[in-house]
Amino acid sequence: MQMTKQGNIGLLVKPIKGRTVLKWGIIFVVVFAVVLSALYALIFYNIKPPKETNLIANFHVHRAAYERLRDMLLADQNVRAVYVEFGVKTVSSGLPHEPSEVNFPVSRYNEYVTLLEQIGSDAAFRNEGTKNQLICIGAWGAGWAGDTRHIWVCWTDSAPNNQVTNLDDYYRNSRKPNNVFKHIDGEWYLRAD
């Protein structure tokens, strides 16, 4: 390569056009976004649910915490849901709020959060508008938008009709119905939606 009068290598004599810089900048941003999205998907997007035996074993290990959460939700009639990260949803609030914003005792909310974290969950809720009582505590969830799946550990005062014998078999069925229950013990069930 030849050196020019200014001391630059011959390839860099032409100035770079603004459109070229913009085009390569856009290409770089798009490639970076695709790579970042792929890494995120590999790390955080595990759509395969845990084995039924693992879910039931976790329930038995933390049964006292599950029962305490159930008792708290039954006692707190105004509470519809408690979220570790988002706060409390009440009958009148519609959406989750900080406990102080909906006149809910912060110490009570902290007790909910401690129990939820102890069992590895991020939410507990009471099903609204049903004749029977249904209280569910999150056990697993994955997906995005309309393709989200959850498994909940639920307590109900009457046996649900839509029961399956095995959740692992249920997930292998391509034409599976929504919202099924797998009996654990007593009035406790796994609920898959």
Give 149-191 pLDDT, tens digit per residue: 899 999 999 999 899 999 988 888 877 788 899 999 999 999 9
Give the residue extent of every domain in the chain.
10-44, 52-192
Residue with tokens 């759509």: 47
Q: How far apart are CA 78 and CA 93, in angstroms?
A: 10
Length reported for the chain: 193
Identify which has the larger pLDDT, 94 or 111: 111
Q: How far apart are CA 190 and CA 153, in angstroms?
A: 5
Confidence tier at 22 by pLDDT (50, 70, 90): confident
List pLDDT tens digits, range 100-112.
Answer: 999 999 999 999 9
pLDDT at position 44 is 57
pLDDT at position 177 is 81
Task: Count Cβ neighbours within 10 Å for each residue of 158-185 and write b for 16 or more, e otherwise.
Answer: eeeeeebeebeebbeeeeeeeebbbebe
Q: How far apart are CA 105 and CA 159, in angstroms?
A: 33
Q: How far apart are CA 126 and CA 80, in angstroms?
A: 5
Cβ distance 152 to 166 under 8 Å?
no
pLDDT at position 108 is 97
Q: How far apart are CA 164 and CA 182, in angstroms?
A: 5
Q: How far apart are CA 175 and CA 192, in angstroms?
A: 14
Confidence tier at 24 by pLDDT (50, 70, 90): confident
Query: Which amino acid would we find at residue 144?
Result: W
- pLDDT over threshold 60, residue 46: no
- pLDDT over threshold 70, residue 63: yes
Average pLDDT of the chain, as a whole number: 87
- pLDDT over threshold 90, residue 4: no
- pLDDT over threshold 80, residue 120: yes
Q: What angle do CA 145, 84, 122 make, to 5 degrees?
A: 55
Of the CA atoms within 13 Å of residue 100, those in its CB half-sphere come to 0
Nearest CA among 45, 16, 61 for reference residue 149? 45
- pLDDT over threshold 80, residue 38: no
The model's pTM is 0.75
